[in-house]
Structure 1
Amino acid sequence: MTEKLDPKSADDILKKYDKESDTMMYKGVMAKIVSAIAITFSVFQLYTATFGVLDAQLQRAVHLGFGLALVYLLYPTRKSWSRYKVHPFDVLLAVLGAATPAYIVMEYQHLVLRSGTVSGIDLIVGLLGILLVIEATRRIVGLPMVCVVLAFLIYAFAGPYMPGVLAHRGLTIEQLVGHLYFTTEGIFGIPLGVSSTFIFLFILFGAYLESTGLGKFFIDLANAIAGWASGGPAKVAVLSSGLMGTVSGSSVANVVGTGSLTIPMMKKLGYHKDFAGAVEAAASTGGQLMPPVMGAAAFLMAEFVGVPYIDIVKAAIVPAFLYFAGIWLGVHFEAKRGNLKGIPRSQLPKIGTILRERGHLALPLIVIVYLLVSGYTPMRAALVAIVLSILCSALRKSTRMKPIEIVRGLDRGARNVLSVLVACASAGIIIGVVTKTGVGLKLASGLLDLSGGLLLPTMFFTMITAIILGMGVPTTANYVITSTIAAPALVQMGVPVLCAHMFVFYFGIIADVTPPVALAAFAGSGISGGNPLRTGINASKLAIAAFIIPYMFVLSPVLLMIEGTALDLLLTTLTALIGMVALSSALIGYLADDCSTVERLVLIAGGLMMIKPGFLTDIAGFALFVVILLLQLKRRKSAVQA
């Protein structure tokens, strides 16, 4: 029925584009030592989640200590070093990575009594801790994030020499280290606090779901639902990537995980390799916009915006639906244009069989959503879901986890959290500089001056800023950076805070398919054998919804379920969906028949009118859409009769 990319090739592609996957491959004693540290890390997190977390700075310090130790043991200083034998220098850094946060734990009472005064030893430990976080960021997150962090650190010292509104008094080394390392306003701030509580548990939950075979269940279910339709494998890619996005925290990992199966299927059906890679890249990137996890950014957003986590989940539902609808429409019109058929139903798995054999694997996902809606805290809901995922897997012998697999789940969960943990710690440095210098408001004022104080130009410049800042940066750090630097400009314009944060989040995420730094598209092209730039351009076309939806919910917050009635939401969603049909058909060049240049322009105009909130614009846009549709239906009918 299907062919799949060789696992070794898929692994190589993942390591090339996803730094988190390029780890050491220990054997023997060293492998056991690293696993023991990772398992102990998970046990600590589960214990504190069950019996109560420690004081904020203590919880975060222990969390960071475990994380840094594992990063330095798993990610070598240089790529040229052996991947099978640990280097003494990395062992030294691992010990220091654990020791510098441990200093906070051991000296906690004295640090509290000193109340911000930094002693000589504090300065050495704090400076070393900051440098270790930055180096860990280089190893597991990448240079783009390091460059942003270093730029902010330089700004902290260069304030007196900065021009115009960017000028400030400047900070001394003692002030900066004290603020970044010995308060909860810097490295140990909100991002690391969320990582040390909610995020870790949800990633551990995802690790156990992966162990049960949920990923294969999603792909088989998507095949059964959509594999037979026009362009079936492409629609399978969209559906399975959306389902995987509910638990996945990486666009690139999602591309390789589902794309190693779906991209060869698409190419075999007749899709061009540049388009096949683009479909998977656009769909997998959309997985980061998919509630309830949203690449772990949902938890950070709840803290930053100051609303319950479930409100973030509700706000993300309609935009995510519209995004995936846009990709689905794009692959549908491409399939119709190329007359690409689906897979014969006889070759596809039966949906009833799949649900009977492995439907129980989805129960933990259903339960966790129910618990969150019922008022459970995310931490408590994740704890229940972790236990339930193990129990549900035991319902059938084919999915049952052995005791050793349960232990390995603890190991894998700790390893999977490392990139998020380090990104959150690194993002804390940025936030610390922003709060200490006030540069966030200054940058917002600069954006407002550039846009002349008008909303649409401000949104446009904020979009460009978020896309640039999001290039090559993982989801959680991406959101922290964009929300800190770009969102305040929209808030100053009177945009609701949640709308402003969702706006920059969307554009930061879509950087994964926006050339020139389109990591998800590059990973897709690595699997398909296509051209990375053309794959990125095609992915941007398919992901057109992500470039439009944020403007929609800023202009019409009802899409985020924070204003208006249910009828308002229904009508706005319906007109937006029809608008997406018009836009997708225009970009692909097919609606009911091949589109002429004029027809494509009219469809774009009509689509944008329906997407823009307003009764008159909706009517006008719908009329343009219907005219083109009727003309094409008439033309196709004439061609058939001829």
Structure 2
Amino acid sequence: MSDSSEGEAGSGLSLRVLRPVIDGLAMLLTLTAICWAFSVPRYLGLGFYPQQFFAAILACALTLAYLTLPARRATTRRRVPWTDLALALASFVSVGYIAYGYPELVLLIFSRPPAVWVPGLIVTLLVLEALRRATGMALVVIIAVFLLYALFGDAIPGRLSGRPQNWQMLAGYMAYDSNGILGLPLSVASTVVVTFILFGGLLSITGGSRFFTDAAMLCMGGFRGGSMKIAVLASGLFGSISGSAVANVVGTGVITIPMIKRNGYPAHKAAAIEAVASTGGQLMPPVMGASAFLMSEFLAVPYSTIVMAALVPAILYYVALFIQADLEAARMNIAPVPKSEIPSAASVLRGLHFVLSFAVLIYALFVLRWQPERAALLAAVALIITSLALGYQGVRPSLADIFRGLSRTGHAVVEIILISAASGLVIGVLNVTGLSFNLTYALVQVGGGNATVLLALSAVVCIILGMGLPTLGVYVLLAALVAPALIQVGIEPIAAHLYVLYFGMMSMITPPIALAAFAAASIAQAPAMATGLAAMRFGWSAYVIPVLFVFSPTLILIGEPLDIGVAIVTAGIGVWLISASLAGYFSARLSMPMRLAFAVCGLAALVPGTAFEGAVISDILGVGGGLLLMASEVRRKRQRLAESVV
């Protein structure tokens, strides 16, 4: 066996032989989610507990994980070893047993018969090993620490001391209870996430993702630094449905990063812009990432409420990135994209039918108020119909392509389902041991009940916990561990959850472990750390704006309409000023004193007038001072032009 491949000469079955079974399981997973979203069992007169459905999805995903993921992550699988075939069979049988016997077995958790705790223990261990194969050791170690706490919590001194649990009862509780593996994260992954990834996959199959890249190129390619603006726009559009910042970098970065480099932009900055744009896609409505749907469930509010709250911060995030891309291009004299590389308007307009599917999605979500999974499936149906009828650039998908999309979706969601199931273990420990209350109390005590101190502490915790973890896993941990402490000191619940989501997401571009930035750096062949530092600069707004909407919820559209309107306008001016300061350019290169002046006025303008007593004055001074600085720079440039003409 070589380092690069697994089982080339070893025992087991060829992956090619097992391919029909693997693809069939993946398709079954997707079809099961579709049937549940459309309430097919109810129409057939069949009654199931939701946990039975979640277990069926997990059985498919866990089996797929052992059939497709090698034990050593650096290897390539060509044959499936007999041990992994045994683990795949054990996964299907044990989780299938839980799904079949759930109505009777769930009642026996606390009496601890072997029929409950033995399969519970097997499933827990299988989930952790599959998670290790999919994501690495970081999340597994964190979950293992929580499970050890559940068993030996009384050994922890002080306020964090917990109630120790019987290991047999704990195994049954984690596998059967609605607060364990079959809990809220898995319910969202099994319904909403599967259907939205199906929608995103169909966009790729039908040419929709290419259409959005072409549209971004047509709109932005003719302007200075057009390649960078294309990356910002295309990655923002695609990232809202990709479900992963790293997947978005890989999906769009292979096109945008070489294009930016060809225009003369440094490799590490090209990678940084792509990483920041891709990361922000999961903060951008109307679709956002999987975490937003989970947030809706945690807060027990409609998804539309989350979307409206996230809208202004996401727009400010992209406005800041777009302005920096424009000003950097001006400072470095980056030319527009060559006309030969820009698609014609006529060819792009033929793909406008792809926009219809998004219109259907938005209509179903916000007007009909359908469940997100049903809205996504309706949009997918609209996409299939228009693509089969009209195609894009002379290419129409076949029905076989559509059916293959079902299988591709099943493969794509395996990692998310494993993360969600494992996240249920954390939530289960928090509930059964009382750690959730104890940790909230401890964080509030450490912060001295001071919201500012607690916010700073929480930001550090969010970034540290987020290092090396997938997006969904980051949010589940933070929503369970940090958000309750913020709410405890009087912060608006939706603001608290958005705060931890933002800072958890920023771990994707914050060194020393910045997964999205490092993925972009590998594509750009740029230094990883330099890319991460540049990404932090381009993504500066995401470190500042969450603090502002915590102190003044006007930026998440909570408050009086006049206050909200003024806050949005002044924040926009503040973003422009700070972006100019960081780029070192406005209408011409800025001197260091001018850059500092722009930054100070920008920060003052960013702070909403309702943030604290006297904030209105800082707002007025920031906006007024910033406008004067802008005017002076424009006047200075005109004088230089006049002098050069003379």
Q: Deviations over 1:175-220 (max 9, x none)?
A: 3212211211111111111112222111112111111111111111
Match of 1:29 among 17, 25, 48: 17
Distance 1:515 1:26, change over 3 A: farther
Query: What is the 5 A alignment of 1:40-119?
Result: 40-52=28-40, 54-79=48-73, 83-114=77-108, 116-119=110-113
Matches within 5 A, 1:393-542: 393-397=387-391, 398-542=394-538
| Structure 1 residue ranges without an equivalent (≥5) | 1-11, 16-23
Offset at residue 639 of structure 1 (A): 3.5
- Please show how residues 356-375 of structure 1 align to structure 2 within 5 Å: 357-374=350-367, 375=369
> Deviations 1:426-447 (Å, cap 9, x if unpaired)?
1100111111122223222222
Partners of 1:221 and 1:80 in 2: CA distance: 37
1:38 is aligned to 2:38: no
- AA matched with 1:320: A
Q: Is the CA contact (8 Å cut-off) linking 1:26 and 1:83 kept in structure 2?
A: no
| Structure 1 residues 30 and 167, CA gap change in structure 2 (3 angstroms) | same
SS in 1 for 2:533: helix
Q: Distance in 2 between matches of 1:197 and 1:343?
A: 41
C-alpha deviations, 1:107-143, integer Å up to 9, x for none?
2243144363221232221111111111111111222
Q: Structure 1, residues 325-372: CA drift from partner, whole Å, max 9, x if none?
A: 1110111111111111212446422334302x2111232121111111
Q: How many angstroms apart in 2 are the aligned matches of 1:387 and 1:440?
A: 42
Q: How far apart are 1:95 and its partner, in Å?
A: 0.9
CA RMSD of aligned residues (A): 2.0
The 5 Å alignment of 1:182-331 reads: 182-331=176-325
Q: Deviations over 1:425-475 (max 9, x none)?
A: 011001111111222232222222222221111111111111111112222
Where 2:507 maps in the other structure, the secondary structure is helix
- Counterpart of 2:149 in structure 1 is 155
The 3 A distance-change label for structure 1 pair 26 and 466 is: farther
Are 2:557 and 1:561 aligned?
yes
Q: Distance in 2 between matches of 1:132 and 1:177?
A: 12
Mean Cα deviation higher: 67-76 or 590-599: 590-599
CA distances 1:141-181 after superposition (whole Å, capped 9, x unpaired): 22221121112112212311212111123222023212211
* More off after superposition, 404-413 vs 24-33: 24-33
CA positional deviation for 1:26:
6.7
Partner amino acid for 1:120?
Answer: P
Cα distance change on mapping 1:452 and 1:27 into 2, 3 Å:
closer
- TM-score, normalised on structure 1? 0.93
Distance 2:116 2:122 in 1: 10
CA contact (8 A) 1:225 1:351 kept: no
Partner of residue 587 from structure 1, selected from 576, 582, 594: 582
Q: Does the Cα contact within 8 Å between 1:522 and 1:536 map onto a contact in 2? A: yes
In the superposition, relative to structure 1, how do residues 206 and 296 fare at CA in structure 2: closer, same or farther (>3 Å)? same
Change (3 A) 1:600 1:446: farther
Instruction: State how far apart, in whole Å, the 1-side matches of 2:593 and 2:265 are.
Output: 26
Q: Distance in 2 between matches of 1:258 and 1:363?
A: 22
Alpha-carbon distance in structure 1 between the residues aligned to 2:94 and 2:458 = 37
8 A contact 1:292–1:298 mirrored in 2: no
Larger mean Cα displacement after TM superposition, 588-597 or 203-212: 588-597
* Aligned twin of 2:617: 616
* Percent identical: 38
Counterpart CA distance in 2 for 1:222 and 1:195 is: 30
Report the Cα distance in structure 2 between the residues aligned to 1:629 and 1:350, rounded to whole angstroms: 36
Letter of the 1:280 partner, please give it: E
SS at match of 1:169: coil
Aligned length: 619
Question: Using the alignment, how far apart are the partners of 2:152 and 2:603 within structure 1?
Answer: 45
Q: 1:602 corresponds to which residue? A: 597
Structure 2 SS opposite 1:28: helix
Cα 1:25–1:501 change in 2 (3 A) is: farther
My pick for the range that moved more, 439-448 or 294-303, is: 439-448
Instruction: Give the aligned residue type for 2:282.
Output: Q
Task: For 2:141 and 2:280, locate their aligned partners in 1 and report how far apart those are by CA, in whole Å.
Answer: 26
| 2:44 corresponding residue in structure 1 | none
Amino acid at match of 2:37: A
Deviation (angstroms), 1:627: 3.4
Counting only pairs closer than 5 Å after superposition, residues 342-357 of structure 1 correspond to structure 2 as 342-345=336-339, 347-355=341-349, 357=350
Tell me whether 389-398 or 414-423 shows the greater mean CA deviation. 389-398
Unmatched 5+ stretches in structure 2: 6-11, 42-47, 610-615
Q: State the TM-score, normalized to the length of structure 2.
A: 0.92
**1:178 paired residue number:** 172
User: Quick check: 66-75 or 595-604, which moved more?
Assistant: 595-604
Query: Greater shift after overlay, 63-72 or 391-400?
Result: 391-400
Opposite residue 542 of structure 1, the aligned amino acid is F
**Does the C-alpha gap of structure 1 residues 27 and 94 become closer, same or farther in structure 2, counting only changes over 3 Å?**
closer
For structure 1, which segment, 50-59 or 432-441, has the greater mean C-alpha deviation from structure 2 after superposition?
50-59
Mapped to 1, the partners of 2:20 and 2:441 lie a distance apart of: 53
Tell me the equivalent position of 1:8: none
Q: Report the secondary structure of 1:340's partner residue.
A: coil
| Rounded Cα–Cα distance in structure 2 between residues aligned with 1:588 and 1:443 | 41
Residues 102 and 318 of structure 1: is their aligned pair in 2 closer, same or farther, counting only changes over 3 Å? same
Alignment partners' CA distance in 1, 2:518 and 2:13: 25
